[in-house]
């Protein structure tokens, strides 16, 4: 046993000597010999025969294996980095579940499991997955870009088509009207001398075509204020309007009237679009019709107001145009003249000119934190919000609370504080239009 211990010490000494040799060869590398701590593998064998008769024993040492990994001390560090990467990938995996679902749906295997078994090291797997995610995100963003371009293209085509169709229809109608006018004129010429009794009958179709608004009825001698049928644009069907044939020479097409509160003006976009109420009492003619009327001729606007003390004032504007629904019925209001004050252009901050139409269910106003239509219970060309609102609630006397009644901000005394916080109310309001070149 003592001999074996000596041999073990001997082999350790040999190993140590070799270790020192390696260190000397490569000074930068640290050497650890794990075999030193292992059980002694040295074997002592007795030999019956020995060359030259001098060695009855033979020592056989186990093969010496030294593991000398490069940058051994950094392995732990690298391992930590790999762990971090792994966590990052897992996080990305969670945050991109939508991408993953899409990938799964497309049936692409290999995208569903991010850390499946592989021959690659965890670091490489992580890198690969990051790259895969990156390329997926790139693909999605390029898809989005393509879709956007496609939408832009389609929009352009749509606008072109709209324009072409509108122009075609307009040209077609213009040609038809020109033909009809020619035929009627020639018939007129034939009849003028011989058949005066049939003159009225012959000219009827022409009259029907040219009644674009109330001023055309006035032009043929109509002088009673009542409803007439007008066709401001032959591309669209004709409709009934109420004509005021008395005020300031007559020929007015009435757009709106308030006189007793019989019609509710707290209405939807659709109601204001097509119109509502009773043409002989209270009504809103309808934004589509107002658009056609103001498009067919250059129109002026007259507003008539009366309060409960019997004061009657008016406002005249030398231009009035309402755009179509696509442009949210934006209003164009010209210069003021009259007695009621210019409430539509009240100030820099309260100006109804060039404003879009807003209803309680469609907010196109300039008030960012709410809907003026909802707050003031009506449809109107709200700014943020009002210096005038002729579609407000009808109050039969002065009222308190929100100023949601009919309102005209330049009315005498309207902005002065009233005892008890009462608000002013109006008995009658009316809006009507007439061609700029109208001659009474």
> Closest CB to Ca ion among 304 and 365?
365
> Closest CB to Ca ion among 371 and 410?
371
Axis crossing angle, helix 75-95 with helix 97-105, rounded to the nearest 10: 70
Q: How far is the CB of 258 from Ca ion (least distance, A)?
A: 25
> Closest CB to Ca ion among 233 and 363?
363
Q: How far is the CB of 117 from Ca ion (least distance, A)?
A: 59
Q: How far is the CB of 178 from Ca ion (least distance, A)?
A: 46
Q: How far is the CB of 367 from Ca ion (least distance, A)?
A: 4
> Closest CB to Ca ion among 117 and 368?
368
**CA dihedral over 92, 98, 104, 108, signed as positive or negative:** negative
Say how far residue 213 (Cα) sits from the centre of its chain. 37
> Closest CB to Ca ion among 385 and 429?
385
Q: Could you give the count of Cα atoms lying within 13 Å of 20 in the half-sphere of its Cβ?
A: 6
> Closest CB to Ca ion among 232 and 373?
373
Whether the link from the prior residue into 434 is cis, omega within 30° of 0, is no
Q: How far is the CB of 288 from Ca ion (least distance, A)?
A: 23
Q: How far is the CB of 392 from Ca ion (least distance, A)?
A: 17
Angstrom distances, CA of residue 16 to CA of 8, 13, 22, 169, 341: 12, 5, 10, 105, 112
Distance CA 171, CA 182 (A): 16
Q: How far is the CB of 363 from Ca ion (least distance, A)?
A: 4
Tokens of 285: 């003619």
Tokens of 86: 């792994």
Tokens of 6: 């000596």
Distance CA 277, CA 271 (A): 10
Which residues of the chain form contacts with Ca ion (CB under 5 A)? Answer: 363, 365, 367
Can you spell out the DSSP letters for 231-242? -S-TTS--EEEE
> Closest CB to Ca ion among 367 and 399?
367
Distance CA 432, CA 301 (A): 6
> Closest CB to Ca ion among 33 and 383?
383
Q: What are phi and psi of 238, to 5 degrees?
A: -75, 165
Say how far residue 372 (Cα) sits from the centre of its chain. 20
């Amino acid at each position: 046993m003592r001999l074996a211990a000596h041999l073990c010490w001997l082999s350790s000494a040999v190993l140590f000597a070799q270790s020192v040799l390696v260190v000397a060869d490569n000074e930068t590398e640290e050497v650890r010999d794990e075999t030193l701590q292992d059980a002694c593998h040295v074997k002592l064998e007795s030999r019956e025969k020995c060359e030259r008769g001098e060695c009855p024993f033979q020592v056989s040492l186990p093969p010496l294996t030294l593991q000398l990994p490069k940058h051994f001390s950094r392995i732990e560090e690298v391992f930590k980095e790999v762990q971090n990467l792994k966590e990052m990938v897992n996080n990305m995996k969670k945050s991109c579940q939508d991408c993953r679902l899409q990938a799964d749906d497309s049936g692409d295997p290999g995208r569903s499991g991010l850390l499946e078994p592989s021959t690659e090291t965890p670091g490489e797997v992580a890198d690969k997955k990051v790259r895969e995610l990156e390329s997926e995100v790139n693909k999605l963003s390029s898809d989005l870009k393509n879709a956007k371009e496609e939408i832009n293209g389609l929009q352009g085509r749509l606008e072109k088509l709209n324009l072409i169709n509108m122009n075609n229809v307009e040209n077609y109608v213009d040609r038809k009207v020109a033909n009809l006018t020619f035929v009627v004129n020639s018939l007129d010429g034939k009849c003028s001398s011989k058949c005066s009794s049939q003159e009225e009958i012959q000219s009827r179709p022409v009259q029907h075509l040219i009644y674009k608004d109330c001023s055309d009825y006035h032009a043929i001698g109509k002088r009673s204020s009542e409803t007439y049928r007008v066709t401001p644009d032959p591309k669209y069907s004709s409709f009934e309007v109420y004509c005021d044939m008395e005020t300031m020479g007559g020929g007015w097409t009435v757009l709106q009237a308030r006189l007793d509160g019989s019609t509710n003006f707290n209405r939807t976009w659709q109601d204001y679009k097509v119109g509502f109420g009773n043409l002989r009492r209270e009504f809103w003619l309808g934004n589509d019709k107002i658009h056609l009327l103001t498009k067919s001729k250059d129109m002026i606007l007259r507003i008539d107001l009366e309060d409960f003390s019997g004061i009657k004032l008016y406002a005249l504007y030398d231009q009035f145009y309402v755009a179509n629904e696509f442009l949210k019925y934006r209003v164009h209001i010209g210069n003021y003249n009259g007695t009621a004050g210019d409430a539509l252009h009240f100030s820099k901050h309260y100006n109804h000119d060039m404003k879009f139409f807003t209803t309680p269910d469609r907010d196109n106003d300039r008030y960012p934190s709410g809907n003026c239509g909802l707050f003031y219970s009506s449809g109107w060309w709200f700014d943020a919000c009002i210096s005038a609102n002729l579609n407000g609630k009808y109050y039969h006397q002065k009222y308190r609370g929100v100023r949601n009644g009919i309102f005209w901000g330049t009315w005498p005394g309207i902005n002065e504080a009233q005892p008890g916080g009462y608000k002013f109310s109006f008995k009658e309001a009316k809006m009507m239009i007439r061609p700029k070149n109208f001659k009474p």
